Each structure stands twice: as structure tokens, then as C-alpha cells.
Amino acid sequence: MGAGVAADNGVGIDLRQPPAQVGIGLRQPHYAALFETAPALGFVEVHSENFFADGGAALAVLRQARERYPVSLHGVGLALGSAAGLDPWHLDRLARLVQRIEPVRVSDHACFARAAFAPGAPVVHANDLLPIAFSDASLSIMASSVMQAQERIGRPMLVENLSSYVSFADESMSEPEFFAALCRRTGCGMLLDVNNIMVNALNARVADPLAACCAFVDALPLGIVGEIHLAGYCETGGETDGIVIDDHGSRVRPAVWAVYEHALRRFGAVPTLVEWDTDLPAFDLLLGEASHAAGLAARVAA
């Protein structure tokens, strides 16, 4: 861990930045609207990998956005939980992007994607956020990779909890325990996706999903959450055998807003992102969701 990473709160990052900064996920169809309307936003967040190229228009747009807003780099491909380890190529590209953009935050997921189909076979990248088991072995893998990544980019990062469609029966700790230990060991923070908690609770068919999500939030230590994600989900299949998909393709559901409010009461004014990645809405609707988040944060802070 590089100098200056550790800090008093034990997670090495100023996680409480009142007042709450609310941002939006910036996607290509909204580029023009962002620059034309220049809305008051706390930050914009992009998928890091979309800007890994040596040059080109996308990078130019991101640099333009950076002149106006803090930029948060949110990765979907580092695959921090892969037993095969990190891809040095990926880490180099991320480090270069961090240097180019000087983001306000850098984050990725508690997942795996790099693995071989068989022992000794070449490692491939699944290009998905595949679930890890919450076990001591997974924790060691994650901690090692998070520390390697933080060392390479020269700053602490945030790690996001997943929505997952399968889980493992032989886990040795709960997800909040896993994240608490990860943050303690590595100095990283947590990117708390409250929609993902809800998706998992619904897929687990718990009796009271909202209560389960609030219990998840309550089980997290104070001071580790550095950003919150909000998004929409969709239901597929029937009532008995269907599953809920975290598709980021609709408005935030009322129950997810309720979990968000609960999280704000527990963690205070945490930077918050509204993600919308599929079936992108009109820019104004996305801004409306962000305004709603800001209003809730203000109400909780009052």
C-alpha cells in the first residue's frame, strides 16, 4: 500500500463528504444532452473499460466531461475475486486512465471473471460479474487483488456488492461480514449497491425483502461505505420459478428508495449514483431520479 492511503477512519478514504453528492452514470446517448444542459451534478460515473483505448472520441468526451464534473471510474472487468489473479494488461490500462482523468473515485466489483475452463488451460475473461463464495479463501483472493490494484493505481478503491443469480451453499460468512473484513484488511471502501441487495433478497425469496435489505445495511460497519448505487431491476419468469434481473433499465423501485433512505440514516451523506444502462430514458428522467436521490439525502440530513 502506497503512502497516504491509510487514514484515520481505517479505510483510507474520506468516505463522508457532506452534503451528499449525487451523480449519474454517463452513457454515450446522453453525451450531447449533458454538455448542452450542463446540469448541477455531484459527479458523473463511467465504465472504466470503455475508455481504455489509446485515444479516440470516447476519451476526448470523457476529458471534456472531466473539465466540468468530478468523474468516478467504475470498472466492470477487473475481476477482483478471480482465483486466477488480476490481468496485468487490465491493471496497466486502468492505471493509465486514472492518471489521465484524475477521478474522484475508482471502483469495481466483488466478483470473478477470469478463469480457465480446465486446470492448465488458458485463462479467459467471461466479461460478466460472476459471483464469488463468501469464504475465507475468497476473502484472501479478493484482499490480495484489491491491494495489488490499489498499489498500482496509487489510491484506495471501492468494491461493490453484486447482484447474483446463483449462490453457494458452503459459505463461511455473511456478505456484510465479508465486506467488513475486506475493508479492514485492505483499506478499500465499499460501494454499496442497494438495488443489488434488493435483487438478491427477492431472488432468495425471503419473507420480508425490505427488512432483509435494511438488516444487511445495519450489519455493515460505519465508515466503510464510500458510494451508493441506485438502479432499476426487472422480473422474469413466473411467481414461483422466476428470477429478478438487475438490468439497470428502469426507474428505481419504491422499496429500493426505502433501503436507500435507511442507508443514508445509517451512513450519512454518501455520494450516490443513479445507474441506467439499458433502455436508456430521456436525459430529464434520469436527472429526475438523481434529484429524487438528492432530495432524500437532504431530508435525512435535515
Partner 1 sequence: MNEAQRQRDLLAALATGAPSIATLRESGERAARGLEAYRANAEAIADRALASTFVTVQAMVGDEDFKHLAREFWRAHPPEHGDLGEWGDAFPSWLAVHAGLTAWPWLADSARVDLALHRNERAGDASLDTDSLHLLESTDPAQLRLLLMPGTAVLRSPWPIAAIHSAHQLAGEAAERAFAGVRESLAAQRGEQVLVARQGWRAVVHPLEAPTAAWTQDLLDEVDLATALTRAGESFDFAAWLGIALRESWLKGVAASND
From candidates 14, 128, 208, 235, binder to partner 1 by CB under 8 A? 128
From candidates 116, 222, 282, 301, binder to partner 1 by CB under 8 A? 116
Which of positions 1-20 make contact with partner 1 (CB under 8 A)?
none
By the rule CB under 8 A, 118 interacts with partner 1: yes
In this structure, are residues 16 and 224 in contact, taking their beta carbons and an 8 Å threshold? Answer: no
Question: CB of residue 197 vs partner 1: minimum separation in angstroms?
Answer: 17
In this structure, are residues 225 and 15 in contact, taking their beta carbons and an 8 Å threshold? Answer: yes
13: number of Cβ within 10 Å: 22
- Considering beta carbons, is residue 134 or 179 the nearer one to partner 1? 134
- Considering beta carbons, is residue 21 or 48 the nearer one to partner 1? 48
By the rule CB under 8 A, 32 interacts with partner 1: no
- Considering beta carbons, is residue 119 or 254 the nearer one to partner 1? 119
Task: Map residues 227-266 to x or -, x wherever contact with partner 1 holds by CB under 8 A.
Answer: ---------xx---xxx-x---------------------
How would you classify the pairing of strands 243-245 and 234-236? antiparallel
Q: What is the DSSP string of 190-211?
A: EEEEHHHHHHHHHHTT-S-HHH
- Considering beta carbons, is residue 246 or 289 the nearer one to partner 1? 246
In order of 36, 46, 58, 130, 131, the CA distances from 274 in angstroms are: 20, 12, 21, 22, 23
- Considering beta carbons, is residue 3 or 118 the nearer one to partner 1? 118
Question: Could you tell me which residues come within 8 angstroms of residue 215 by beta carbon, excluding any fewer than 6 positions away?
Answer: none
Which of positions 153-212 make contact with partner 1 (CB under 8 A)?
164-170, 203
Task: Map residues 54-93 to x or -, x wherever contact with partner 1 holds by CB under 8 A.
Answer: xxxx-xx--------------xxxxx--xxx--x-xx--x
In the DSSP assignment, the letter for residue 28 is G
Residues 162, 216: Cα–Cα separation, whole Å: 13
Question: CB of residue 139 vs partner 1: minimum separation in angstroms?
Answer: 10
From candidates 13, 46, 49, 217, binder to partner 1 by CB under 8 A? 49
281 Rama class: left (phi>0) / alpha (psi -120 to 50) / beta: beta
What would you report as the CA-atom Rg of the chain, rounded to the nearest whole angstrom? 18
Residues 228, 195: Cα–Cα separation, whole Å: 9
Question: CB of residue 2 vs partner 1: minimum separation in angstroms?
Answer: 23
Q: Is 145 exposed, middle or buried (0-12, 13-18, 19+ CB in 10 A)?
A: buried
Q: Which residues of this protein are in contact with partner 1, per CB under 8 A?
A: 49-50, 52-57, 59-60, 75-79, 82-84, 87, 89-90, 93, 112-119, 122-128, 130-133, 135, 137-138, 141, 164-170, 203, 236-237, 241-243, 245
